Structure 1
Amino acid sequence: MFLEPFFRGQRSGWIEVICGSMFSGKTEELLRRLKRAKFANQKVEIYKPRVDTRYDNVKVVSHDDNFILATPIDHSAKILKVGGDVTVVGIDEAQFFDQDLIQNVQKLALSGKRVIVAGLDMDFRGLPFGPIPGLLAVAEYITKVHAICSHCGNLATHSYRLSSEDSTVVLGEKDKYEPRCRSCYNMGNILDLK
Structure 2
Amino acid sequence: MLNDDRFKRRFDLGGSVEVICGSMFSGKTEELIRRLKRAQIAKQQIEIFKPKTDTRYDETAVVSHDANFIHSTPVDHSSAILLYGGNSQVVGIDEAQFFDLELPEVCIKLANKGVRVIVAGLDMDFEGKPFGPMPALMAIAEDVTKVHAVCVKCGGPALYSYRLVQNNKQFMLGEKESYEPRCRFCYHQQ
TM-score (norm. length: structure 2): 0.94
2:117 matched to 1:115? Answer: yes
RMSD of aligned residue pairs (Cα, Å): 1.5
Shift of 1:85: 3.8
Q: How many residues align?
A: 184
- Name the % identity: 61
Q: Residue 6 of structure 1 contacts residue 12 of structure 1 at CA under 8 Å; is this kept in 2?
A: no
Offset at residue 81 of structure 1 (A): 1.0
User: 1:81 and 2:83 equivalent?
Assistant: yes
Read off the aligned partner of 1:6 and give its amino acid letter.
Answer: R
Residue number in structure 1 paired with 2:153: 151
Residues 159 and 84 of structure 1: is their aligned pair in 2 closer, same or farther, counting only changes over 3 Å?
closer
Give the conservation status (yes or no) of the 8 Å contact 2:60–2:73: yes
Partner amino acid, structure 2, of 1:130: G
Partner amino acid for 2:77? H
Structure 1: gaps of 5 or more residues: 189-194
- Could you list the runs of 5+ residues in structure 2 that have no partner in the other structure? 1-5
| Offset from partner CA, 1:149-171 (integer Å, 9 cap, x none) | 00000000000000001100110
Q: How does 1:26-65 map to 2 (within 5 A)?
A: 26-65=28-67
CA 114–102 in structure 1, closer or farther in 2 if over 3 Å, else same: same
**What is the aligned partner in structure 2 of residue 6 from structure 1?**
9
The TM-score with structure 1 as length reference comes to: 0.92
Q: SS state of the match for residue 52, structure 1?
A: coil
Structure 1 stretches of 4+ moved >2 Å: 9-12, 82-85
Letter paired with 1:47:
F
